[in-house]
Amino acid sequence: SSGINAEYGGHILSLYLIDRPSTLYIIPQLPTAGLPNALLLPNMKWLLSFFISIIVISLSSAKLDGGGFGEAYHWVPWESAKSVAKVEGKPIMVILHKTWCGACKRLKPVVANSHEILQLSREFVMVNAEDDEAPAENAEFSIDGGYIPRIIFLDSDGNIRPEYTNVARGEKYKYFYPSVDEITRSMNNVLQGVAIKTEL
Protein backbone atom coordinates (compact mmCIF):
# COMPACT_ATOMS: atom_id res chain seq x y z
CA SER A 1 0.00 0.00 0.00
CA SER A 2 1.03 3.63 -0.41
CA GLY A 3 -0.27 7.00 0.70
CA ILE A 4 -1.03 10.35 -0.87
CA ASN A 5 -1.48 13.58 1.07
CA ALA A 6 -3.56 16.48 -0.20
CA GLU A 7 -4.12 19.87 1.41
CA TYR A 8 -7.62 21.24 1.84
CA GLY A 9 -8.41 24.37 3.83
CA GLY A 10 -5.02 24.28 5.50
CA HIS A 11 -5.54 20.68 6.63
CA ILE A 12 -3.98 17.51 5.30
CA LEU A 13 -6.19 14.76 3.91
CA SER A 14 -4.58 11.37 3.50
CA LEU A 15 -5.54 8.86 0.82
CA TYR A 16 -4.23 5.33 1.09
CA LEU A 17 -3.87 3.16 -1.99
CA ILE A 18 -4.20 -0.56 -1.38
CA ASP A 19 -3.12 -2.60 -4.36
CA ARG A 20 -4.76 -6.02 -4.34
CA PRO A 21 -4.37 -8.75 -7.00
CA SER A 22 -7.33 -7.61 -9.10
CA THR A 23 -8.55 -4.32 -7.71
CA LEU A 24 -7.14 -1.01 -6.57
CA TYR A 25 -8.99 0.63 -3.72
CA ILE A 26 -8.51 4.31 -2.88
CA ILE A 27 -9.65 4.66 0.71
CA PRO A 28 -9.95 8.13 2.20
CA GLN A 29 -8.60 8.69 5.70
CA LEU A 30 -10.05 12.00 6.82
CA PRO A 31 -8.87 12.99 10.32
CA THR A 32 -11.41 15.08 12.15
CA ALA A 33 -9.78 15.74 15.52
CA GLY A 34 -9.21 19.42 16.08
CA LEU A 35 -10.82 20.57 12.85
CA PRO A 36 -13.31 23.44 13.09
CA ASN A 37 -17.00 22.72 12.64
CA ALA A 38 -17.14 25.15 9.74
CA LEU A 39 -14.79 22.85 7.84
CA LEU A 40 -16.37 19.62 9.03
CA LEU A 41 -19.93 20.63 8.27
CA PRO A 42 -20.70 20.47 5.46
CA ASN A 43 -17.31 20.53 3.71
CA MET A 44 -15.77 17.39 5.21
CA LYS A 45 -18.94 15.40 4.65
CA TRP A 46 -19.10 16.60 1.06
CA LEU A 47 -15.46 15.63 0.56
CA LEU A 48 -16.04 12.22 2.11
CA SER A 49 -19.01 11.63 -0.17
CA PHE A 50 -17.00 12.78 -3.19
CA PHE A 51 -13.98 10.60 -2.40
CA ILE A 52 -16.06 7.52 -1.64
CA SER A 53 -17.90 7.98 -4.92
CA ILE A 54 -14.62 7.58 -6.78
CA ILE A 55 -12.63 5.30 -4.47
CA VAL A 56 -13.08 2.06 -6.37
CA ILE A 57 -11.03 1.68 -9.53
CA SER A 58 -11.33 -1.81 -10.94
CA LEU A 59 -8.29 -3.16 -12.76
CA SER A 60 -9.75 -6.57 -13.44
CA SER A 61 -11.08 -7.25 -16.93
CA ALA A 62 -13.57 -9.69 -15.40
CA LYS A 63 -15.09 -6.86 -13.39
CA LEU A 64 -15.26 -4.34 -16.22
CA ASP A 65 -18.40 -6.05 -17.45
CA GLY A 66 -19.67 -6.89 -13.96
CA GLY A 67 -18.73 -10.52 -14.40
CA GLY A 68 -21.49 -10.73 -17.01
CA PHE A 69 -24.07 -8.77 -15.01
CA GLY A 70 -23.52 -5.59 -17.00
CA GLU A 71 -20.81 -2.98 -17.33
CA ALA A 72 -23.34 -0.13 -17.15
CA TYR A 73 -23.87 -0.77 -13.44
CA HIS A 74 -21.76 0.91 -10.78
CA TRP A 75 -20.42 -2.15 -8.97
CA VAL A 76 -18.83 -1.63 -5.58
CA PRO A 77 -16.72 -4.28 -3.80
CA TRP A 78 -18.13 -5.54 -0.52
CA GLU A 79 -15.13 -4.14 1.34
CA SER A 80 -16.28 -0.62 0.46
CA ALA A 81 -20.05 -1.12 0.21
CA LYS A 82 -21.04 -0.33 3.80
CA SER A 83 -19.00 2.87 3.87
CA VAL A 84 -20.47 4.03 0.57
CA ALA A 85 -24.00 3.14 1.69
CA LYS A 86 -23.67 5.03 4.94
CA VAL A 87 -22.34 8.18 3.29
CA GLU A 88 -24.75 8.15 0.36
CA GLY A 89 -27.73 6.99 2.44
CA LYS A 90 -28.55 4.16 0.05
CA PRO A 91 -29.53 0.54 0.68
CA ILE A 92 -27.24 -2.23 -0.55
CA MET A 93 -28.15 -4.91 -3.07
CA VAL A 94 -25.86 -7.96 -3.05
CA ILE A 95 -25.85 -10.53 -5.85
CA LEU A 96 -24.15 -13.78 -4.79
CA HIS A 97 -23.21 -16.08 -7.66
CA LYS A 98 -20.69 -18.64 -8.94
CA THR A 99 -18.96 -18.84 -12.29
CA TRP A 100 -19.89 -22.53 -12.73
CA CYS A 101 -23.58 -22.11 -11.79
CA GLY A 102 -26.10 -22.60 -14.61
CA ALA A 103 -28.82 -20.54 -12.94
CA CYS A 104 -26.29 -17.76 -12.34
CA LYS A 105 -25.34 -17.77 -16.02
CA ARG A 106 -29.00 -17.45 -16.97
CA LEU A 107 -29.48 -14.55 -14.54
CA LYS A 108 -26.56 -12.53 -15.93
CA PRO A 109 -28.21 -11.39 -19.20
CA VAL A 110 -31.47 -10.80 -17.33
CA VAL A 111 -29.75 -8.18 -15.19
CA ALA A 112 -27.31 -6.93 -17.83
CA ASN A 113 -30.02 -6.21 -20.41
CA SER A 114 -32.64 -4.72 -18.10
CA HIS A 115 -33.16 -0.97 -18.32
CA GLU A 116 -35.59 -1.17 -15.38
CA ILE A 117 -33.07 -2.80 -13.04
CA LEU A 118 -30.34 -0.41 -14.19
CA GLN A 119 -32.51 2.62 -13.45
CA LEU A 120 -33.40 1.37 -9.97
CA SER A 121 -29.79 0.40 -9.27
CA ARG A 122 -28.87 4.08 -9.11
CA GLU A 123 -30.71 4.21 -5.78
CA PHE A 124 -28.64 1.31 -4.42
CA VAL A 125 -25.06 0.43 -3.64
CA MET A 126 -24.59 -2.54 -5.96
CA VAL A 127 -22.40 -5.48 -4.92
CA ASN A 128 -21.53 -8.30 -7.30
CA ALA A 129 -19.88 -11.15 -5.33
CA GLU A 130 -18.51 -13.87 -7.59
CA ASP A 131 -17.37 -17.29 -6.34
CA ASP A 132 -15.63 -16.81 -2.98
CA GLU A 133 -15.59 -13.02 -3.01
CA ALA A 134 -16.92 -11.38 0.14
CA PRO A 135 -19.51 -11.64 1.51
CA ALA A 136 -20.17 -15.05 -0.10
CA GLU A 137 -18.65 -17.01 2.79
CA ASN A 138 -20.48 -14.99 5.45
CA ALA A 139 -23.04 -17.29 7.06
CA GLU A 140 -25.37 -14.34 7.70
CA PHE A 141 -26.04 -14.22 3.95
CA SER A 142 -27.23 -17.86 3.91
CA ILE A 143 -30.55 -16.90 5.45
CA ASP A 144 -32.49 -19.88 4.12
CA GLY A 145 -29.63 -21.87 2.63
CA GLY A 146 -26.50 -21.55 0.53
CA TYR A 147 -28.12 -21.94 -2.89
CA ILE A 148 -27.13 -19.61 -5.71
CA PRO A 149 -27.77 -17.16 -7.16
CA ARG A 150 -29.15 -15.17 -4.24
CA ILE A 151 -29.98 -11.47 -3.97
CA ILE A 152 -29.82 -10.03 -0.47
CA PHE A 153 -30.74 -6.49 0.55
CA LEU A 154 -29.24 -4.42 3.35
CA ASP A 155 -30.20 -1.01 4.68
CA SER A 156 -27.90 2.01 4.53
CA ASP A 157 -26.48 1.14 7.96
CA GLY A 158 -25.29 -2.20 6.64
CA ASN A 159 -27.93 -4.34 8.35
CA ILE A 160 -29.24 -7.35 6.44
CA ARG A 161 -32.98 -6.99 5.83
CA PRO A 162 -34.19 -10.58 5.48
CA GLU A 163 -37.82 -9.52 5.12
CA TYR A 164 -37.18 -8.40 1.54
CA THR A 165 -37.62 -11.62 -0.37
CA ASN A 166 -38.93 -12.77 -3.71
CA VAL A 167 -42.60 -13.08 -2.78
CA ALA A 168 -43.20 -15.20 -5.87
CA ARG A 169 -41.04 -18.00 -4.44
CA GLY A 170 -43.10 -18.86 -1.38
CA GLU A 171 -41.15 -20.33 1.54
CA LYS A 172 -38.36 -22.00 -0.46
CA TYR A 173 -35.46 -20.26 -2.16
CA LYS A 174 -36.85 -16.88 -1.08
CA TYR A 175 -33.78 -14.97 -2.29
CA PHE A 176 -33.66 -16.49 -5.76
CA TYR A 177 -34.79 -14.10 -8.50
CA PRO A 178 -35.00 -15.42 -12.08
CA SER A 179 -36.82 -12.51 -13.73
CA VAL A 180 -36.74 -8.74 -14.12
CA ASP A 181 -40.21 -8.30 -12.65
CA GLU A 182 -39.33 -10.23 -9.51
CA ILE A 183 -36.09 -8.29 -9.01
CA THR A 184 -37.61 -4.87 -9.59
CA ARG A 185 -40.55 -5.67 -7.30
CA SER A 186 -38.20 -6.30 -4.40
CA MET A 187 -36.02 -3.31 -5.27
CA ASN A 188 -39.09 -1.05 -5.19
CA ASN A 189 -40.23 -2.62 -1.92
CA VAL A 190 -36.84 -1.90 -0.39
CA LEU A 191 -36.88 1.70 -1.58
CA GLN A 192 -40.36 2.16 -0.12
CA GLY A 193 -39.62 0.38 3.14
CA VAL A 194 -36.11 1.49 3.96
CA ALA A 195 -35.60 5.18 4.70
CA ILE A 196 -33.13 6.70 2.26
CA LYS A 197 -31.06 9.50 3.68
CA THR A 198 -30.99 12.43 1.33
CA GLU A 199 -28.81 14.67 3.46
CA LEU A 200 -25.23 13.92 4.48
For residue 166, the model assigns a pLDDT of: 95
Q: For residues 185 and 178, is the Cβ–Cβ distance under 8 A?
A: no
- DSSP, collapsed to helix, strand or coil, labels residue 119 as helix
Where does the pLDDT of residue 132 fall: very low under 50, low under 70, confident under 90, or very high at 90 and above? Answer: confident
- DSSP, collapsed to helix, strand or coil, labels residue 30 as coil
What number is the average pLDDT over the span 81-87?
95
Residue 97 has pLDDT above 70, yes or no: yes
What span, in angstroms and rounded, lies between the C-alpha atoms of 35 and 49?
Answer: 18
Q: For residues 127 and 94, is the Cβ–Cβ distance under 8 A?
A: yes
Query: Could you tell me which residues are beta bridge partners of residue 92?
Result: 125, 154
- Calculate the dihedral angle through the C-alpha atoms of 191, 195, 198, 199, rounding to the nearest 10 degrees: -160
Tens digits of residue pLDDT in 37-60: 555 555 555 555 555 554 444 433
Strand order in the sheet with 2-8: 2-8, 11-19, 23-29, 56-58
The predicted model scores a pTM of: 0.68
